Amino acid sequence: MSTIEVPSAEFLEISTEPAPQRRRRIKRKTVNTIIWMIVLLALTAIVLYPLVWMLFATFKPSSEFGQNPGLMPDNPTVDNYVKVVEGIAGTPLWRFFANSLFIAVMAVIGTLFSSALAAYAFARIKFRGVGLLFAAMIGTLLLPFHVIIIPQYIMFNKLELVDTYWPLILPKFLATEAFFVFLIVQFIRNIPRDMDEAARIDGAGHIRIFFSIILPLIKPALITSAIFTFIWTWNDFLGPLLYINTPEEYPLPIALKLYNDQTSTSDYGATMAVSFLALLPILIFFIVFQRFLVDGVATQGLKG
């Protein structure tokens, strides 16, 4: 696909060239490829360095921090992990993981269910007001969410749901993340209408069409939405910071803050180890599903 620097006119000339010159040209192309490769590898190394450094830092004893900013630990140890697994503030580490996992799984279920329903209505059903509602949905994409966190907090506070997981999970069941509704709408619009029209002639209603025709066909969009929802919920900091006050109920990001506050000066190694463990599920997710994630972002951007 490297046609940019080999235009067709020049290409014709090459074929009449004497052999040594042609060989030189091919050699120059190889050299260019090698330079290109080296530049990109160097950039990759820079971009991934913080993560690699973090991984190696988890094996450094805390006393080594500040003296050894390099990659390799002088005296590698797994003490940090041993210490960290015990947990903090009387709560074992697995508890924070379980809390995060519960919230993230519920968020995925809720987002898929509510976003797919809404997307089907926006993409396939013609009814009065659909245009206006669709515009409103797109509008919420651009809305800074800080404008609603204060009233939402007041509302959940009045309902006495602060310090429960409801404020974190309920919005996901109500399709408040417009990004996913939009993503699925775009996907449904690309599915030919022939099949659902045939089904309609056979007497199928929207519920039948949604469940037996559309839902199986939008699986790729659903998978993309599921992975993004999981990762974003897993990383979410502000939501749990506002709503969860009991340390045993903390999800990982807030538990990390606890580590960071209490041990940042004295115990860098342990802080790094927890941070890495908190990131691990996401990194694994990313390695397994990278194609979906990267392509999901690309299509989202292009089909406006």
Partner 1 sequence: MSPGRRRAARRESVAGYGFLVPWLIGFLGLTLGPMLYSLYLAFTKYNLFKDPEWVGFDNFVRMFTDDPQYLQSVQITLIYVLVGTPIKLAAALGIAMLLNYRNKGSGFFRSSFYAPSLIGASVSVAIVWRAMFSTDGPVDNSLSLFGIELGGWVGNVALVVPMMILLAVWQFGAPMVIFLAGLKQIPQELYEAAEVDGAGPVRKFRSVTIPMLSSVIFFNLLLELINAFQIFASAYIISNGSGGPAGMTNYYTVYLYKRGFADLQMGYASAMAWVLVIVVAIIAFILFKTSTRWVHYAGENR
Site for partner 1 in 12-71 (CB under 8 A): 33, 36-37, 39-40, 43-44, 47-48, 50-51, 53-54, 57, 65-67, 69-71
Q: Name every residue whose Cβ is closer than 8 Å to that of residue 278 and which is 6 or more positions away in sequence.
A: 252, 253, 256
Burial class (CB in 10 A: 0-12, 13-18, 19+), 121: middle
Select the span of 19-27, 82-90, 124-132, 191-199 touching partner 1 (CB under 8 A): 124-132
Task: Name residue 91's beta-bridge partners.
Answer: 88
Q: Is 206 in the site for partner 1 (CB under 8 A)?
A: yes
Residue 89, by phi and psi: left (phi above 0), alpha (psi -120 to 50) or beta?
left
Nearest distance from C-beta of residue 43 to partner 1, angstroms = 7
Dihedral pair phi/psi, residue 153, rounded to 5°: -60, -45
Q: Name every residue whose Cβ is closer than 8 Å to that of residue 236 and which is 6 or more positions away in sequence.
A: 168, 251, 253
Q: What is the token pair recorded at 166? A: 């409801």
The binder of partner 1 chosen from 137, 204, 213, 223 (CB under 8 A): 137
Interaction residues for partner 1, span 151-190 (CB under 8 A): 151-155, 157, 171, 173-176, 181
Select the span of 72-80, 81-89, 217-225, 258-266 touching partner 1 (CB under 8 A): 258-266
CA distance 282 to 125: 36
* CB nearer to partner 1: pick between 2 and 15: 2
The binder of partner 1 chosen from 97, 191, 242, 262 (CB under 8 A): 242
Nearest distance from C-beta of residue 219 to partner 1, angstroms = 19
Dihedral pair phi/psi, residue 4, rounded to 5°: -60, -45
* CB nearer to partner 1: pick between 82 and 238: 238
The residue whose two tokens read 């994409």 is: 141
* CB nearer to partner 1: pick between 106 and 282: 282
Select the span of 80-88, 101-109, 216-224, 256-264 touching partner 1 (CB under 8 A): 256-264
* CB nearer to partner 1: pick between 18 and 192: 192
The binder of partner 1 chosen from 26, 42, 85, 143 (CB under 8 A): 143
CA distance 76 to 131: 61
